[in-house]
A and B are shown apart, each in its own frame.
Chain A
Amino acid sequence: MEPINEIAGRAIPYGAKNVDTDVIIPAHWLKTVSREGLGKGAFETVRAKPGNVFDDPRYEGAPILIAGDNFGCGSSREHAAWALLDMDVRVVIAPSFSDIFSSNAFKNGILAVALPQEQIDRLLAVAVEGELFVDLENQTVGTEMQDRFHFDVDPFRKHCLLNGLDEIGLTMERGDAISAYETRAASQLSFLSGPRAA
């Protein structure tokens, strides 16, 4: 996955709360066997309304999206993360995220930044005219004005995001530990070690 560190640019001031994955990418777009091209279907129902932020030329190609709390609730579809990537969004800023979405975002090199609602409100106001600056190394979101907001990020996720590390590769290096667990489980939890054959 693509490493991510400093992202500067326009931000889509979306701001909606409880944005579910059916809004991010409706189910009929999931009938694909590829990760590409989902940006076309992103926020389809929102874009059906004239004057929506996603079709506002000011935010075209913006690498940052600002939303309300509980962003990405609903289904486990990773297509939501792929759709955002396909829109060139690399950072989503919201007061909170659903658990599955934040995991999917991380695995695709999208940084999910959680900030308090009053800071989100400030960024939403600034984003209408100005750029935002996201710095993963120093864990800050800034504006062209004096704003510098600190955010928390899991150290392991930060390390992987900064270096573009493939989590599966990292886990496969732990193959011996996994084998040791399987040996242990085969004696202690033998009834879990495989469903009966048909």
Chain B
Amino acid sequence: MYEKIWDAHVVERRDDGTCLIYIDRHLVHEVTSPQAFEALRSTGRSVRRPDLTLAVPDHNLPTTARRTPDGRRIPIADPASATQLAALEANAPAFGIRYIGDADREQGIVHVVGPEQGFSLPGATIVCGDSHTAAHGGLGALAFGIGTSEVEHVLATQTLLLKQSRTMEVVVEGQLGPGVTAKDVVLHIIGTIGTAGGTGHVIEFRGNVFREMSVEARITVCNMAIEGGARAGLIAPDDTTFRYLKNRPMAPAGEEWDRALAWWKTLPTDEGARFDRSVHIDAADIPPTVTWGTSPEDTVPIDGAVPDPASFADPSKRAAAQASLDYMGLTAGTPMTDVTVQNVFIGSCTNSRIEDLRAAAAVLKGRRKADSVTWAIVVPGSGLVKEQAEEEGLDRIFTEAGLEWREPGCSACLGMNPDKVPAGERCASTSNRNFVGRQGPGARTHLLSPAMAAAAAVTGRLTDVRDLAPVAATEPA
């Protein structure tokens, strides 16, 4: 599938194998674009295809109200954030690029907005100056993160000079156990292959487990392909994908839809195709998973314990594990379910879509957060997700449980906006990175699924969601 999409986008092939690849869709946000626009200005270059480009602010936006009741903009306290946001707001129209602004109902995290609007499509090449662009691979797009010089390159030429990656398949077959979600699956995969396991490769996620997932769950899996070192993740488009995309505002319609559908159906990897590397995982071996350290590969089953650094054979891994435990304030052998958390973050481009919020709400319904949890926020991935959640009454479930219901944005996934975890405190987080200082200087992050984050909010410690039956136990599990 990767090779099919690649071949369809080759503008020119050089003798050394490097290809000039055409880019179908370019998402732009405020953090990695200002220097690119500035360089276009200083070199007198223009944007080749503004119509294939979509700009949305997300990283710096506060998730509190952005407008007063009478519609005036509430100034952003941090002048540096305000400058970056103002730069995008000015650059987009100056270069003729469609812009979804901070007060538009479609605004959200670029990786939520792209699929939701039908801007992202199967078989398309999609780039953005953000490594979690891999997310769009959940639709069967070849999507990957780029740096600012590449943003400038795409703006100016609508192409990138790339070397073809090697191919890797991660096959998960079988039946997932209770309480195991797409997030647990991808955390377990990263724990298995390591953060450099996919370096130089594009990963195709294959097997019945991914076929049976919703598009949103597939986006969660592909979103974290980069945490396994792969620049892109892919899942073959199928009827689930097509149903998801049909009638999205920017998706093809009418005759164009039919033509698109015919091509999309040719994309899945052919029977018997060979991958450069294969990893097979039995679905039944995947537990509800959390991280204990400062790398996404530091995973452990929720019913497991903090590992002993001495158990790592590689001396540098042993040292890294010890440094992680020191930073995390954890002792080897502690059961994960004894680890207390003071903060809970439900959101990010990994887990802020409607199904994620429903999963968290199902756990929180009829419950209240523990008093020891001092900060717990739910941040929808877009204004449209927010509207949908409010229509379903999810916002009331969250607020009645004592969680805050916020405006869409990247929020506490990274320390760029006011949503930060205080130094030394622990956060149960549905985001994608548990790096040192990621959620704020000194913050300690445990990655997990939305349902497990909700469970942690209720008990004030990392909790096995399987031990927390729904309060309104009228529906079968």
Contact among B81, B129, B229, B316 with A98 in the assembled complex (CB-CB below 8 Å)? B229
Asked if residues A78 and B32 are in contact (CB atoms below 8 Å), the reply is yes
Contact with A along B69-105 (1 / 0, CB 8 A): 0000000001011011001000000000010000000
Bound form: Cα–Cα A80–B118 in Å: 32
With an 8 A cutoff between CB atoms, is B436 at the interface? yes
B3 within 8 A of A: no
CB–CB B129/A26 < 8 A: no
Q: A74-B433, A104-B149 are in contact. Are A174 and B83 (CB under 8 A)?
A: no
Q: Which residues of B contact A178 (CB under 8 A)?
A: 11, 20, 22, 48, 157-159
Given A23-B435, A26-B437, A168-B157, A195 contacting B54 (CB threshold 8 A) = yes
Which residues on the A side are within 8 Å of B397 (C-beta)? Answer: none
Cα separation A46 to B200 with both chains bound (whole Å)? 28
Q: How far is the CA of A96 from the CA of B199 in the complex (A)?
A: 9
| Stretch from B204-212, B246-254, B357-365, B469-477 forming part of the interface with A | B246-254
| Chain A residues whose C-beta falls within 8 Å of the C-beta of B282 in the assembled complex | none
Q: Is the CB of A70 within 8 A of B229?
A: yes
Interface: A146 (CB within 8 A): no
Q: What separation, in Å, do the CA atoms of A16 and B322 have in the docked complex?
A: 13
CA distance A177 to B158 in the complex (A): 12
How many interface residues does A have (CB within 8 Å)?
57
Contact residue among B35, B80, B196, B253 (Cβ-Cβ distance under 8 Å from A70)? B196
Cβ of A77: which chain B residues have Cβ within 8 Å of it? 31-32, 147
Assess whether B320 is interfacial by the CB under 8 Å rule.
Answer: yes
Question: How many residue pairs, one in A and one in B, have C-beta atoms under 8 Å apart?
Answer: 200
Give the contacting residue for A33; candidates B34, B153, B438; CB below 8 A: B34
Given A100-B131, A178-B158, A192-B24, A26:B35 Cβ within 8 A: no
- Contact B148 A99, beta carbon cutoff 8 Å: no
Contacting residues of chain A (148-165) with chain B, CB-CB under 8 angstroms? 154-156
Q: Are B320 and A174 in contact (CB under 8 A)?
A: no
Contact with A along B1-18 (1 / 0, CB 8 A): 000000010011010101
Do residues B78 and A31 form an inter-chain contact, with CB atoms below 8 A? yes
Is the Cβ of B148 less than 8 Å from the Cβ of A32? no
Chain B interface size band reads 35 or more
Would B199 and A191 count as touching, CB distance under 8 A? no
Task: Find the residue from B18, B118, B435 having the highest chain A CB count within 10 A.
Answer: B435
Also in contact, A168 and B153, with CB within 8 A (given A190-B259, A198-B249): yes
Alpha-carbon gap, A107 to B153, bound state (A): 10
Please determine whether B130 and A31 come into contact, CB atoms closer than 8 angstroms: no
- The answer to whether A35 touches B196, judged by C-beta atoms less than 8 angstroms apart, is no
Cα-based distance from A195 to B251 in the complex (angstroms) = 6
Find chain B residues with CB under 8 A from A17 CB: 316-317, 320
B8 with A34: CB separation less than 8 A = no
Shortest distance between the CB of B446 and any CB in chain A (Å): 16
List, in ascending order, chain A residues with CB within 8 A of B25's CB. 195
> Are A27 and B416 within 8 A (Cβ)?
yes
Shortest Cβ distance from residue B137 to the other chain A in the assembled complex, whole angstroms: 15
Residues of B within 8 A of A81 (CB): 147
A–B complex contacts, Cβ < 8 Å, 30 sampled: A18-B320, A20-B295, A22-B435, A22-B436, A22-B438, A23-B436, A26-B437, A26-B441, A27-B414, A30-B416, A31-B60, A31-B78, A32-B34, A34-B38, A35-B35, A75-B145, A76-B32, A76-B146, A77-B32, A98-B199, A99-B165, A104-B149, A155-B16, A168-B152, A168-B153, A171-B157, A178-B20, A178-B159, A189-B263, A195-B251
Besides A76-B146, A195-B117, 19 other A-B contacts (C-beta < 8 A) = A18-B195, A18-B320, A22-B435, A30-B416, A33-B84, A45-B437, A73-B196, A76-B32, A76-B129, A76-B133, A78-B149, A98-B229, A99-B231, A104-B148, A154-B18, A154-B163, A168-B45, A191-B263, A192-B124
A residues engaging B (CB < 8 A)?
16-18, 20, 22-23, 26-28, 30-35, 45, 68-70, 73-78, 81, 96, 98-100, 103-104, 107-108, 154-156, 167-168, 171-172, 174-175, 177-178, 180-182, 185, 189-192, 194-196, 198
